[in-house]
Structure 1
């Protein structure tokens, strides 16, 4: 099987995210040590180190989830091809090994190219910061042993994601070679009790750890690591239960688009194919959650630091410029997650149209016009985007405030008021509208090419 460019791209972006993050935090650490004021502040150095590890853990986690989601989508799209190979004598285990080998190669090539891109990005950011006077000209080596961590993590997570995502190969039968790719129904998704119970347990356990991080943050900023673990566990529970949680949310949002035939069909598709809907949505939820979390955390961080500057100017003098640099640099790095989310949404919508050739042809045969088909695809894209944005904004605000509280509770000596980054929230909404148009354009063109005769030709 050939290596999918989408999986290589996701692995490359994940690697660039992690390597760029390490390079940038290394550069910031060098700047902090060279500064006469911040270099003597143990609080600033500790916060920077904690934030570095928090973002590294987030980078590895996001890469793993998105890569697994990508390979699950790839396998779903290849169900008929795999069934045909089974019909010709190939075994399911052989097909699964081929997909896992593809994941390993995609992870390796993406990790190397991403590492180079992340290092180049960090170098460019450092040069720009130096040119505008944000950075001093200090000695720093871009060849750090720690850079192997994101490289190895991306390769391993991509390989594991391909192996986990290819589990469905074991259930593909040769008879499916004469049919279309089948997704789990709503009833089948609800009937996976073991997975759903595990999802609920992870959400509850993650919530408890998140609360523990918030309370312990009143004592030490290291408590944010407990909060990060809680956030990862709770979000993993959401990902595992996405097949159950996302379709009803998508259906509710779908009702906002009216009661026309295309709008009703778009809303019902979310329930009829929960796996396809959740795969298309969860990547965007991750992107919006990360951006919102970062925005809320940095806004809260800035509010606390400015308050401390007012009460303890001798300790926090000069940190305003460093805060501006940190915000600008991490804004660029977090932008990678939005790019990954956009790729996932476009890939899943395109795959959705390819898998539904017979359905679209039948709609044409029943009287649906080209315009109605285009409107249905656009509505599906819009409801996916709106649902992901709403859920991501809620989760991002909670996680962002919890992270800020766990990190800064001891510094602020009390509870931290959540900062609201209105420019970032406005940018998310505008980007969501643009993504809806972009993600639906190619699938809509494919849908409008489907003729009534195709409904009889497929299957």
Structure 2
């Protein structure tokens, strides 16, 4: 039986390749994602281990909100340095300063592009026992001088002696470039532009005079990291901690790896979609192969093969196809990982060199996906093959019996009903749980509709095929009848396409709804005329901008918005901080109780629903934990839910008391009554000109920029979903190719009675197009329901409007038509080229 299985596979090489394609694409996506994740993880593990290899112990203030995060971590006074240097076993104690510093390209006047990586400022400690940086060209910086990482200097074409503007938390300063450096043997730290000042300058522009972000200690010979950490911890005051150099490296790498894990999970979701679609194709392929090999299977039964042997033979064949597809998928996945890593580099993130990482987990997962999915998808066709009676070998007209669609209708209806109930539950729930319920419900509806699609295919295809009959007569009628001939096969092929196009439709609806929500939010919740933000995602800019704009002619209000994490009742919350006088003018905050205008020192405003959940009342003291400690703030007012303001508001002065940063995320400007918008814009442009990272937009430009970000994300999602659509395209090609082989004699007879080659090609193209349009129509219908439910479930996240992108949906259906035409090229050509006499004589 094994020899027979192998011969059967090798005798049908084209079918083998077509069957493998779905496996290869799905496995390569999974493999590429895992390889890229493992490679990036090892890259940053090695990088941060090398950067901190000379640090035995790091001393820093405790971050009360997130112990491993440096965001908001309070600084250390420089007076701790001599005390730490006297600890037994400390060879050297070196103060470290870090903060945000953005280089301004002297040629263009624009900020250095780090591809999303932040601009980092630090003090130069090269030559110290704890340092890992070395001068590459030039020398170390002195007052009024800087050195930058070698990769940034090369990308910006900076020559030594160049005068460069650097943006920090205060007004921009101009410095002379006197050197470039490497860090741990690398030209770049993950693509970030790193600027190093002398220590006194770094303290002044990044923190404050006589302050350090941390102190790094080098151990004397023979002293281990844990041993030195214990000695140092014994002399530290409260609120200060000591960690080992290894812990520091692990924390630094962990922050990056957390982002990598999120990106990896995102990619694996789409990989799972591709595998799911591939399962439909594999099932369809093996069902058709079994139908075409009825006499062969019957002969095996007639010469003594048992049912179990026949089924096992088909399962082994499927496993071999899966194994071969997984092997090819591993190779293709490695290439995909290289492409993804190159894409990361194209965005300006310079990664340290190194080979790809193929962990045992990746190989196991690749073969598990390939072999298991293929074997499971082929189980039902294999069981059907085992049911072929030996007597069928003597009857040319024997066909496999089809079960009633009644059971299919019941199960499909049950799955669809379950999916609808989960969608309803998801739309009634808020936040992540609601979105999860909608996602599970959508999957159930996909399966339910796919199960019901054989019942739908007849009447729907009859309607969809009518225009072809009207335009092409008999040829169009034959194409329609061929699409209706085998409802299960047509439904399975269309369902694979349905999933991809349904997700495209759903995300198109979600994206359009987000855009509409942004427009509504800006109109209803923001009262600003101009919006200032930094170019880099999540990066801030100097609070000096808002201070410089205040009081300028034609400007009524210019208020900066900033914020960060805090804790209330043990839970993390996001604070918004702003100037109390200007905040209420630019944000449409509606009072519920108390006096929202009383916001000031040691006070707080809370959204009324959140206040009710915590049982807070106006006048009550609320204990708020900041990174540097806790403080009691008086609740002076509550307000209605705001998509912009969030749930917790304090004053900028209150926030600044607990953070060393003076960075705004946004500045909102409201012009005075009667002031010319053009004149006010000119005033703003003049103020922000020295701040190269700041972008100025009016209300319409701000909305357009938010919409552009949505379009960019949707474009990325569409590219990932395109893989699932490509698999579905392979499925249509596969189905048509096998169908042409199955109908060889029929095709010969049609040619014999006068059908031309052109008519034959047209018939196959029409069959393919009708099947594709059927899948597209199903996809748009299911995707519309899914998109609506997802929009409703995310209402609490700021998606307050539902919008239906009719033009995009029409494009989705047209894509279905195009896919049908493309998928028919190879099968139609094969059908038209058949030798008529040989085709007629085929059994």
Does residue 585 of structure 2 align to residue 199 of structure 1? no
TM-superposed CA distance for 1:349, in Å, is 0.8
- Alignment correspondent of 1:363: 750
> 2:776, 2:816 within 8 Å by CA — same for their partners in 1?
yes
TM-superposed CA distance for 1:205, in Å, is 0.8
Q: After superposition, give the CA deviation of every residue in 1:52-101 in whole Å (9 maximum; x if it has no partner).
A: 67545534433433332332233233333323333443333222212211
Question: For the residues of structure 1 that align with 2:400 and 2:490, how far apart are their CA atoms?
Answer: 10
> 1:125, 1:329 within 8 Å by CA — same for their partners in 2?
no
- Alignment correspondent of 2:796: 410
Local SS of the residue matching 2:378: helix
Question: For the residues of structure 2 that align with 1:152 and 1:253, how far apart are their CA atoms?
Answer: 40
- Alignment correspondent of 1:169: 385
- Alignment correspondent of 2:537: 318
TM-superposed CA distance for 1:343, in Å, is 0.8
TM-superposed CA distance for 1:136, in Å, is 6.3
TM-superposed CA distance for 1:28, in Å, is 11
Q: After superposition, give the CA deviation of every residue in 1:294-333 in whole Å (9 maximum; x if it has no partner).
A: 4444554566678779969989982679867754543332
- Alignment correspondent of 1:330: 717
- Alignment correspondent of 1:160: 376
Say which structure is richer in strand. 2
**TM score, norm. by length of structure 1:** 0.80
Does residue 304 of structure 2 align to residue 292 of structure 1? no
Question: For the residues of structure 2 that align with 1:302 and 1:18, how far apart are their CA atoms?
Answer: 32
> 1:23, 1:122 within 8 Å by CA — same for their partners in 2?
yes
TM-superposed CA distance for 1:22, in Å, is 5.4
Distance 1:293 1:27, change over 3 A: farther
> 1:358, 1:456 within 8 Å by CA — same for their partners in 2?
yes
Question: For the residues of structure 1 that align with 2:517 and 2:365, how far apart are their CA atoms?
Answer: 32
> Which runs of structure 2 are paired with 1:264-303 in the superposition (5 Å)?
264-300=477-513
Question: For the residues of structure 2 that align with 1:35 and 1:153, how far apart are their CA atoms?
Answer: 38
Moved more, 111-120 or 254-263: 111-120
Q: After superposition, give the CA deviation of every residue in 1:368-395 in whole Å (9 maximum; x if it has no partner).
A: 4444333322221221122222222222
Distance 1:48 1:357, change over 3 A: closer
- Alignment correspondent of 1:237: 448
- Alignment correspondent of 2:102: none
Say which structure is richer in helix. 1
Q: After superposition, give the CA deviation of every residue in 1:199-231 in whole Å (9 maximum; x if it has no partner).
A: 111111111112222221xx2223322222211
Does residue 399 of structure 2 align to residue 182 of structure 1? yes
**TM score, norm. by length of structure 2:** 0.46
Distance 1:394 1:26, change over 3 A: farther
Which of 272, 277, 288 is 1:73 aligned to? 288
Q: After superposition, give the CA deviation of every residue in 1:337-363 in whole Å (9 maximum; x if it has no partner).
A: 111111110111111121112323333
- Alignment correspondent of 2:308: 93
Gaps of 5+ in 2: 11-15, 45-113, 120-253, 539-705
> 1:284, 1:338 within 8 Å by CA — same for their partners in 2?
yes
Question: For the residues of structure 2 that align with 1:232 and 1:206, how far apart are their CA atoms?
Answer: 7
Question: For the residues of structure 2 that align with 1:117 and 1:318, how far apart are their CA atoms?
Answer: 33
TM-superposed CA distance for 1:429, in Å, is 5.0
> 2:33, 2:264 within 8 Å by CA — same for their partners in 1?
no
- Alignment correspondent of 2:670: none
Distance 1:193 1:353, change over 3 A: same
Which of 430, 437, 444 is 2:821 aligned to? 437
TM-superposed CA distance for 1:255, in Å, is 0.8
> 1:15, 1:111 within 8 Å by CA — same for their partners in 2?
yes
Distance 1:113 1:444, change over 3 A: closer
Does residue 20 of structure 2 align to residue 8 of structure 1? yes
- Alignment correspondent of 2:29: 17
Distance 1:16 1:130, change over 3 A: same
Question: For the residues of structure 2 that align with 1:296 and 1:336, how far apart are their CA atoms?
Answer: 20
Question: For the residues of structure 1 that align with 2:431 and 2:360, how far apart are their CA atoms?
Answer: 29
> Which runs of structure 2 are paired with 1:23-172 in the superposition (5 Å)?
54-55=269-270, 57-133=272-348, 135=349, 137=351, 147=362, 149=365, 151-172=367-388
Which of 350, 362, 376 is 2:763 aligned to? 376
> 1:361, 1:452 within 8 Å by CA — same for their partners in 2?
yes
Could you say what the CA RMSD is over the residues aligned between the two structures, in angstroms?
A: 4.2
Local SS of the residue matching 2:805: coil
Question: For the residues of structure 1 that align with 2:777 and 2:261, how far apart are their CA atoms?
Answer: 34
Question: For the residues of structure 2 that align with 1:253 and 1:379, how far apart are their CA atoms?
Answer: 11
Does residue 433 of structure 2 align to residue 222 of structure 1? yes
Distance 1:114 1:155, change over 3 A: same
TM-superposed CA distance for 1:335, in Å, is 1.8
Local SS of the residue matching 2:305: coil
Distance 1:63 1:297, change over 3 A: farther
Does residue 612 of structure 2 align to residue 397 of structure 1? no
Distance 1:366 1:386, change over 3 A: same
- Alignment correspondent of 2:217: none
Local SS of the residue matching 1:263: helix
Local SS of the residue matching 2:740: helix
Does residue 463 of structure 2 align to residue 252 of structure 1? yes
Question: For the residues of structure 2 that align with 1:34 and 1:214, how far apart are their CA atoms?
Answer: 36
TM-superposed CA distance for 1:396, in Å, is 2.4
Local SS of the residue matching 2:824: helix
TM-superposed CA distance for 1:180, in Å, is 5.3
Distance 1:237 1:174, change over 3 A: same
Greater relative contact order, per chain length (Cα 8 Å cut-off, separation 6+) = 1
Question: For the residues of structure 2 that align with 1:240 and 1:264, how far apart are their CA atoms?
Answer: 26
TM-superposed CA distance for 1:243, in Å, is 2.1
> 1:183, 1:275 within 8 Å by CA — same for their partners in 2?
no
Distance 1:327 1:163, change over 3 A: same
> 1:377, 1:440 within 8 Å by CA — same for their partners in 2?
yes
Distance 1:276 1:61, change over 3 A: closer
Moved more, 79-88 or 197-206: 79-88
From the CA coordinates, give the structure whose radius of gyration is larger. 2
> 2:28, 2:333 within 8 Å by CA — same for their partners in 1?
yes
Question: For the residues of structure 1 that align with 2:352 and 2:814, how far apart are their CA atoms?
Answer: 39
Question: For the residues of structure 1 that align with 2:39 and 2:426, how far apart are their CA atoms?
Answer: 28
Question: For the residues of structure 2 that align with 1:302 and 1:19, how far apart are their CA atoms?
Answer: 34
Distance 1:433 1:88, change over 3 A: same
Does residue 739 of structure 2 align to residue 352 of structure 1? yes
Distance 1:18 1:415, change over 3 A: farther
